[in-house]
Amino acid sequence: MTPGQENQAQELLHRFRQGDTRALARALTLVEAGHPLGQELLKRLRGQGQAKVVGVTGSPGAGKSTLTDRLILEARKRGERVGVLAVDPSSPFTGGAILGDRIRMMRHHQDPGVYIRSLASRGALGGLAGATVAALALLEAFGFDRIFVETVGVGQSEVDIARVADTTLLVLTPAAGDAVQAFKAGVMEIADLFAVNKFDLPGGERIIQELKSALELAPPRPGGWRPPIYPTVAATGEGVEALFEGLEAHYQHLLAHGLLEAHRLERARFEVESVIQEWGRKRTQGAEDLVARVARGELSPEEAAWALLDPKAHP
């Protein structure tokens, strides 16, 4: 870094450690943009703090944001400082994010113990962006006790969140065939807890029975954890306190069985893989001739990939 950048980093780091939320916002923006100053801040701050990271996923319309809003209230009742990362779907062309999640949580805007940030999922093939993990590291270093990561809830993000969060909450509803969606390979395995939200709608008991039957056939979890199912009505707060206690019980299970360190390593592995994926995407976009040779059958995709990774090996 230049002397000027070093001074900027030192000043921002000082304000960050003093608890200045504007410094946190600035650091998050730099990290999301991939700015060198953001990377330097990350190196100096990573590994500081120990938050309970909860991933909240599920299909669109399941009420994830409303449920997260209620869970924030429960955490605040217990004196926890709460960070929220709302990973919004974004356009692959403009990178713009939809900020509906933040609108639903606006009641916490005046609470200094709650910080809510929207992140775009751009470039992550429908899943989480690597910037999400970097943002998590900053929120942990800032001293939040619990961090909720709410995902888009479509496709890859449901699997990605399990690699990033300590505890994964899958939100389903009695309507929209959610039970069938949950039984798809990979999705049942990632959830540590299930919330059947909008339980006041018809079919709530049926989906709980279907989930129980499916879980009986599921392979055993680390430490013998058995995913519980909680009926909730986020709009009224019904069942949310019990769900929050379930989140806490899972975290204590991780502690008791020494499983947290493996979670942290998997989170770092996911972040490195995300960087490699993003590099590959950018290099491929600038290699039209190479892509055309693959399309004509002159090169295999593997040969083209090697050429992009190691220009000296260009065929």
Using an 8 Å Cβ cutoff, are 290 and 282 in contact?
Answer: no
Question: In sequence order, what are the residues at sequence separation of 6 or more whose Cβ sits closer than 8 angstroms to the Cβ of residue 112?
Answer: 21
Distance between CA atoms of residues 22 and 64, nearest Å? 27
Distance between CA atoms of residues 158 and 138, nearest Å? 23
241 backbone dihedrals φ, ψ, rounded to 5°: -60, -45
The pLDDT score that the predictor gives to residue 147 is 96
- Token readout for 197 is 């939200």
The pLDDT score that the predictor gives to residue 126 is 40
The pLDDT score that the predictor gives to residue 155 is 57
- Give me the residues of the chain with pLDDT under 50, please: 91-101, 123-127, 314-315
The pLDDT score that the predictor gives to residue 218 is 79
The pLDDT score that the predictor gives to residue 156 is 59
194 backbone dihedrals φ, ψ, rounded to 5°: -120, 140
The pLDDT score that the predictor gives to residue 153 is 61
The H or E element containing residue 29 is helix 21-32
